[in-house]
Amino acid sequence: MSIILITVFTYLSVALLVICILYPLLTRRTAIQERLDGLGGKGLASRTLFVSSMTKWQSFLAGIGEKIKIAPREKSKYAKMLAAAGMRKGSVSIFMGSKIILACILPLPYVFFYSLPRGELLKLDSLLYVAALAIIGFLLPSVWLHRKVKLRKIEIFHTLPDILDLLTICVEAGLGIDAALVRSIENPVFKGNPLAEELKTATMETRAGMPRSDALRELAERTMVDDVRSFVTMMVQTERFGTSLSLALRVFSDSLRTKRRQIAEETAAKTSIKILFPLAFFIFPALMVVIIGPAFFKILTIFK
């Protein structure tokens, strides 16, 4: 019986692995389909939502996630984090469903390939291992989400001065702020950039009738980057008080570049401290062996 169970679960594991490998290739969209969707106005919609149309697997995850009762505060927190990672509507339910599925799936290899064949499933050690694997599976999506948000924030921070420079040039050339934003984010250099996508979403919301200040504040809330919040505050105050937009953009861009240079200098200054531990634990012992080793053996031969 145990051999049959091992065979069945081995087959299921291999089949699941093959499906995970082939799924991105089978669902990849062609260049023609992407162009047609862009002309039809679906390109922005697919980027603004977590998924343009839920697949059966995503609907299954969403159904599981919707059954989990979480506090509104926690749900709002997850929604903000997912928005900062570039995901949109319906993503909280899918995210919670993935946490539950991973918590159930991760302990299965240990249970069916180690505990059951040995008859140790009900022992305390096995139960502790199963509980630890379930907790790890439940926390893995959160770890992935935090890392994705962190990387996206860094990319937005490094892209903001470049977009501001292009925006300043467009404003000084006589374009309005909306036209300057559209011209800046349409540059091929920023294709696929998260900040350009968020700015495009903000311009679409402005065209749909939302006040520009509200659209920019929504942009700051979605990105969760302090420099973007400062940029939005500067834009709103410039529009309210009627000050020079080009001058404000130039000064703000220069301050961001100075901040970016200071961060690089700080990181470089920390390198000498960070390299101390690898030197002490890996390089110095090897050097000591190479230098002192021959002398040690020479001394041994003398005393013999």
Residues 147 and 160 in one domain: no
pLDDT, tens only, 206-235: 888 888 888 888 888 888 888 889 888 888
Which residue in 144, 140, 59 sits closest to 107, CA to CA?
140
- In angstroms, the CA 289 to CA 276 distance is 19
Q: What is the model's pLDDT at position 147?
A: 92
Detail the DSSP E strand segments found in 46-160. none
- In angstroms, the CA 215 to CA 207 distance is 10
Residues 193 and 260 in one domain: yes
At CA 56, angle to CA 54 and CA 57, rounded to 5?
Answer: 95
* Token duo for residue 25: 């290739």
Residues 34 and 104 in one domain: yes
Residues 199 and 148 in one domain: no
Q: What is the model's pLDDT at position 39?
A: 47
Which residue in 111, 153, 152, 150 sits closest to 131, CA to CA?
111
Report whether 65 contacts 95 (CB < 8 A).
Answer: yes
Residues 243 and 292 in one domain: no
What percent of the chain stands above pLDDT 70? 81
pLDDT, tens only, 106-156: 888 888 887 777 777 777 888 888 889 889 988 998 999 999 999 999 999
Residues 114 and 203 in one domain: no
Place of tokens 């030197």: 279
CATH of the domain at 264: 1.20.81
Distances in Å between the alpha carbon of 196 and those of 20, 164, 184? Answer: 30, 11, 8
More confident residue, 197 or 34: 197
Q: What is the model's pLDDT at position 21?
A: 63
Min mean pLDDT across 51-55, 159-163, 259-263 is at: 51-55
Q: Which residues of 290-299 are buried (b: 16+ CB within 10 A; e: fewer)?
A: eeeeeeeeee
Residues 56 and 189 in one domain: no
The pTM score is 0.69
**Where does the pLDDT of residue 52 fall: very low under 50, low under 70, confident under 90, or very high at 90 and above?**
very low
Report whether 196 contacts 163 (CB < 8 A).
Answer: yes
Place of tokens 């690898």: 278
More confident residue, 220 or 15: 220
Residues 170 and 189 in one domain: yes
Q: What is the model's pLDDT at position 143?
A: 92
Domain boundary among 98, 122, 153: 153
* Token duo for residue 85: 């990672």
**Where does the pLDDT of residue 304 fall: very low under 50, low under 70, confident under 90, or very high at 90 and above?**
low
Is residue 65 predicted with pLDDT exceeding 80?
no
Is residue 90 predicted with pLDDT exceeding 80?
no
More confident residue, 163 or 90: 163
Is residue 43 predicted with pLDDT exceeding 50?
no
Q: What is the model's pLDDT at position 146?
A: 92
Residues 116 and 257 in one domain: no
Residues 268 and 161 in one domain: yes
- In angstroms, the CA 254 to CA 246 distance is 12
Q: What is the model's pLDDT at position 98?
A: 86
At CA 50, angle to CA 47 and CA 53, rounded to 5?
Answer: 90
Is residue 51 predicted with pLDDT exceeding 70?
no
Residues 88 and 138 in one domain: yes
Which range marks the domain in which residue 248 is found?
156-272
Q: How many residues does the chain have?
A: 304
pLDDT, tens only, 259-281: 888 888 888 888 888 888 888 88
Domains in the chain, number: 3
Q: What is the model's pLDDT at position 41?
A: 40
Residues 19 and 85 in one domain: yes
